[in-house]
């Protein structure tokens, strides 16, 4: 049997051969970034930073899990504000969006239950489904007919059924048909859970049974949350293992997220500006209308995507090449993210470089 080091070197060589090795990316202030998930430009907002600094007097960390002694005073107002924003009775903050999905799905679903997930649902949704012990069925991306067919064929065989989808899909930037999925869930006695990690904090279009979101993208901080009816949140508090066995978020992080949420609600023009930027880029690339600030430029091969990203970096732009297995084979792409922090000059520069590199008409 090879040693651990030899095994890891062999595995890395395999990934190198398929251009699938991942590398850490350090922000470079000299580049204009089109790779950030700080969609509303709140990460560096003075009020957000000031709120974090003020809360630092309470300590650098929470010191323990929230069920031990880490449930500091900054949690309650943040969770109340998140619940109100999503139109639910209560909310629960987790250590990350990944943990929120993992903890929620494994706490609510188990053997004898059915989980129906969109084919392009995020990895943490699929991991949660697999860890839960429930049966997982995946419907073709945004294909309501396929989802209904699976429900008609399988729903009656299981105790509970949870339909899970992203609201905005992270790699394509398109939107799930939530109204129709809500109707399907009601028709088939199922629960609907919506992952809104890449949403722009606009008003919820439907009353999903469970809303999941993050504090780390549009809110510019860190963490994840779930909003639902009070009994759901109470059950998660006592049963979601990633919540129970993780140290709470630092007071400064909760304070920053709460300040960012207040700004996002009071300044809808941030969302409008980010979407306007995305729409301009999508129009230039001949892509459908923008439902989010995510713009995929699909190039096919990993080689092409990496070469394009390198060319843009040489031109002073930070853009990430997304490759399989994160996306399906032959759909490697540049994932452009437009934010409220970008200026019209930034967009002009991006489009100019894309045309120079023959990536846009």
- Taking the domains of the chain in order of start, what are their residue ranges? 24-39+293-356, 52-266
pLDDT digits (tens, 9 = 90+) for 144-186: 999 999 999 999 999 999 999 999 999 999 999 999 999 999 9
Give me the pLDDT at residue 350, please: 97
Distance CA 34, CA 337 (A): 5
Query: Are 251 and 74 within 8 A, CB to CB?
Result: yes
Measuring CA to CA, which residue among 318, 352, 356 is closest to residue 336? 318
Residue 361 pLDDT exceeds 80: no
pTM for the whole thing?
0.95
Instruction: Indicate which residues carry an active-site annotation.
Output: 37, 122, 166, 170, 195, 198, 217
Confidence (pLDDT) at 360: 81
Position 27 scores a pLDDT of 86
Residue 2: is its pLDDT beyond 90? no
- Options 3.30.1490.100, 3.90.1150.10, 3.40.50.300, 3.40.50.620; CATH for 24-39+293-356 is 3.90.1150.10
- Topology alike, domains 24-39+293-356 and 52-266: no
Q: What is the DSSP string of 268-331?
A: THHHHHHHHHHHHHHHHHTPPPPSSSEEEEEEESHHHHHHHHHHHHHTTEE-EEE-TTTS-TT-
Query: For residue 255, which of 16, 76, 51 has the smallest C-alpha distance?
Result: 51
Largest CA distance in the chain: 61
What is the average pLDDT value for the chain, to the nearest integer?
A: 96
**Chain segment 266-280, per-residue pLDDT in tens:** 999 999 999 999 999
Q: Which residues contact 307 (CB under 8 A, 6 or more apart)?
A: none
Which residues are 335's β-sheet partners? Answer: 296, 320
Query: How would residue 1 be classed by pLDDT, with cut points 50, 70 and 90?
Result: confident
Tell the CATH topology of 52-266: 3.40.640
């Amino acid at each position: 049997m090879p040693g651990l080091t030899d095994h890891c070197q062999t595995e890395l060589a395999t990934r190198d051969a398929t251009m699938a090795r991942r590398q850490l990316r350090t922000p470079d202030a000299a580049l204009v970034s089109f790779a950030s998930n700080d969609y509303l430009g709140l990460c560096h907002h003075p009020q957000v930073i000031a709120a974090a600094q003020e809360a630092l007097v309470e300590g650098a960390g929470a010191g323990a899990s929230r069920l031990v002694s880490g449930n500091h005073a900054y949690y309650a107002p943040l969770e109340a504000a998140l619940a109100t924003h999503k139109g639910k009775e209560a909310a629960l903050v987790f250590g990350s969006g990944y943990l929120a999905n993992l903890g929620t799905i494994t706490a609510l679903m188990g053997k004898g239950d059915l989980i129906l997930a969109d084919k392009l649902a995020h990895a943490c949704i699929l991991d949660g489904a697999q860890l839960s012990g429930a049966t997982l069925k995946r419907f073709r991306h945004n294909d309501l007919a396929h989802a209904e067919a699976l429900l008609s064929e399988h729903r009656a065989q299981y105790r509970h059924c949870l339909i899970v989808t992203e609201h905005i899909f992270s790699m394509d930037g398109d939107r799930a048909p939530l109204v129709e999925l809500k109707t399907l869930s009601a028709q088939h006695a199922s629960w609907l859970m919506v992952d809104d990690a890449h949403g722009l904090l606009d008003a919820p279009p439907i009353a999903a049974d469970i809303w999941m979101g993050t504090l780390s993208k549009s809110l510019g901080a860190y963490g994840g949350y779930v909003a639902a009816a009070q009994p759901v949140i109470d059950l998660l508090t006592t049963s979601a293992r990633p919540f129970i066995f993780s140290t709470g978020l630092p007071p400064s992080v909760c304070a920053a997220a709460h300040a960012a949420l207040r700004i996002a609600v009071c300044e809808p023009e941030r969302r409008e500006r980010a979407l306007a930027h995305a729409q301009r880029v999508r129009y230039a690339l001949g892509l459908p209308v923008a439902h989010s600030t995510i713009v995929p430029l699909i190039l096919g091969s990993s080689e092409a995507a990496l070469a394009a990203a390198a060319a843009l970096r040489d031109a002073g732009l930070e853009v990430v090449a997304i490759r399989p297995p994160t996306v399906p084979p032959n759909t490697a792409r540049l994932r452009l993210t437009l934010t409220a922090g970008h200026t019209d000059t930034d967009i002009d520069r991006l489009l100019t470089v894309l045309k120079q590199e023959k990536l846009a008409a």
